[in-house]
Structure 1
Amino acid sequence: MKIAFISDIHGNAIALDAVLENLKRNLVDKVCVLGDLCYRGPEPKRSLDLIRSLDTDVIKGNADEWVVRGVREGEVPGKALELMNEERNWTVTRLDQEDLDYLQSLPTELKFEHGGISIYAYHATPESLFEVVLPDAADSDLEAKLMQKESSQLYVYAHIHKPYIRYINGKIIMNIGSVGLPFDGVAKASYGLVEIEDGNIRTSIQRVSFNQEKVVELYHHENYPNAEMMSGVIRNGKL
């Protein structure tokens, strides 16, 4: 059984196309989507439609919450608040009410078991869509923030756009990075692949190339409010 965890598409449908094609080539059996579907990219509607067409488990991320109700003071640096709401408003104009209702209705966690392996997935932490838990956090912090709510063998999250895999007390924590906006300096889409067979488990981070310059072209063609900065992220894989 091959299970792919994808997240943080952020309206980059070109990167999502590349990842979905990669999933087909890897003969993935199941796809789970961990949020942040359409905000901050040039193709919010197409990205959301692609995700919905998968007819699979999807949970909510902080950016999905922002699309629904706006970015609030204290959730981002003060100097970025006005611009990020401008980006949010641009995104909303590309969606319809059904899309907003869909984002509003998404659950915030995913729990299941396969082949004797229990899996617990969420966007940022089990208690928050917004809290940041970085790859270099102490084991004690990872346990306290990511592993306390549910007892599982594998914990999967997204949000930070920096993929990694850690092992603590015989359990696995995996951050799957970002399909649309990688922040770790590798300008390729990332996703997490979990392979389960006969009670054994193998985890890996997959990196997928996509047409960066086409994405940059779309930011400008669609008059995205923050096109220059977002184009730099796409080209360099970091803020």
Structure 2
Amino acid sequence: MKYAVLSDIHGNLEALNSVLEEVDRQKIDQIICCGDIIGYGANPNECCRLLFERNPISILGNHDQAGFDLEEAKYFNIYAQESAQWTYNTLEDSYREILRALPHKRLVGWDFLLVHGALTHRNDYILADQQAIENKEALQEKYPHIRLCFYGHSHLKKIWGPVEGSLAARLNFRLLQDEYYLINPGSIGQPRDGDPRASFLTFERETMEIKYYLVDYDIEKAQKKIHEAGLPPYLADRLARGA
């Protein structure tokens, strides 16, 4: 079974289109989404349509929740709050209901767990060694038979493995069968690691191989749409910086 693991699309249609073209080239069996399909970008409806027609296994991100529950946005920064209000007003009811039905976490068979933010709390970030240790402990305690968790939220490519400290997100990495891993595929629609390319990964269950893909897309077109929608200019500017 070969999975494509996507996260943090954030209404960026240009990035999602380019990623799905690469996904098709890789002959994927199943698409996985770790949440935040919408928010920030100017094409929430189009991204929902494009993704959901692929029948992904998906979970709910905090920006997805704000698409039907604006109370969620009270925890956001000023730019995210403004974009959440715009997205809430723009999102079609049919997609709102699909998002409402998504779980915050999800087991995929006996293979792996999906969360958006963290196991400790759905809106926590996994950014440092101690947070990774706490979340691996939570994984072992709550799901003792599961050794792999995919997550998103931070927009940073990360592999937290059997030793303390983040392993560099190499383009290829083979997991050890009996170790615990927390893995972030990076962000498709708003990367924050200094590389503006859209990021996702593939996971081959039989070989336990992780492979990252960094995909170029039309950033200027995505920026233009953000400006034309009247969203905060900062949300357009950061796309070119990958920050």
TM-score normalised to structure 2 length: 0.85
Q: Is the 8 A contact 1:132 1:160 kept in 2?
A: yes
Counterpart CA distance in 2 for 1:3 and 1:72 is 30
The aligned residue for residue 106 of structure 2 is: 110
Is 1:128 equivalent to 2:130 in the alignment?
no
- Residue 73 of structure 1 deviates from its aligned partner by 7.5
Structure-to-structure mapping, 1:145-224, within 5 angstroms: 145-151=138-144, 152-168=146-162, 170-197=179-206, 200-224=207-231
Deviation of residue 205 (structure 1)? 2.1
Q: Among residues 89, 96, 103, which one is paired with 1:93 in the alignment?
A: 89
Name the amino acid aligned to 2:209. Answer: R
Q: Which residue of 1 aligns with 2:170?
A: none
CA distance in 2 between counterparts of 1:138 and 1:92 reads 31
**Normalised TM-score (structure 1):** 0.87
How big is each residue's C-alpha offset from its partner over 1:80-113, in whole Å with a ceiling of 9 and x where there is no partner? 2xx5333222112222222222211111222124
User: Per the alignment, in what secondary structure is the counterpart of residue 75 of structure 2?
Assistant: coil
Q: Is this contact kept in 1: 2:114–2:149, CA < 8 A?
A: yes
- Which residue in the other structure is 2:58 paired with? 58
Q: Determine the structure 1 residue equivalent to 2:171.
A: none
Structure 1 unaligned regions, length at least 5? none
Q: Distance in 1 between matches of 2:209 and 2:128?
A: 19
Identity, % of aligned pairs? 26
Aligned length: 227
Deviation at 1:177, TM superposition (A): 1.2
Aligned structure 1 segments of 4 or more residues deviating by more than 3 angstroms: 71-74, 135-139, 144-148
1:73 to 1:6, Cα distance in 2 relative to 1, 3 A: closer
Give the Å deviation of 1:204. 2.4
CA RMSD of aligned residues (A): 2.0
Distance 2:47 2:214 in 1: 19
Q: Is the 8 A contact 1:15 1:210 kept in 2?
A: yes
